Structure 1
């Protein structure tokens, strides 16, 4: 299962109490790709203060979405890890 599929079928938003739309999931995927391309995020399992500082200096307009993206991605990785052990 890829990250987008996780967001649209497994993940439940605390805001909407439902799955994300395909459009929203694609936006999260694109943000994640941007973070990886800029080497801000390298598959760590925690969001360090150094990562947050880099996000806030790189994405001045709306850095919160990028931090949220990482939270969702880490949740996705944990989901995959948990389900691969079953």
Structure 2
């Protein structure tokens, strides 16, 4: 719990989420299905624009060359898994 509060999360909200069995299960399964459809088989795995899957560690330069139109948004893409 300490780390969640330390990074700025509301302690009451964190306790609620952690104690609610299955509350987000449907969303998690949907994310897992999407990642599998895009080829996720391990970590790190990145999903760009909810339609491109990129496996493995990618340098900023590599990502910028492969998706130049996404270079300005590169820090907004989050790893899955």
Q: TM-score, normalising length from structure 1?
A: 0.33
* Bigger CA radius of gyration: 2
Q: TM-score, normalising length from structure 2?
A: 0.35
Structure holding more strand per residue:
2
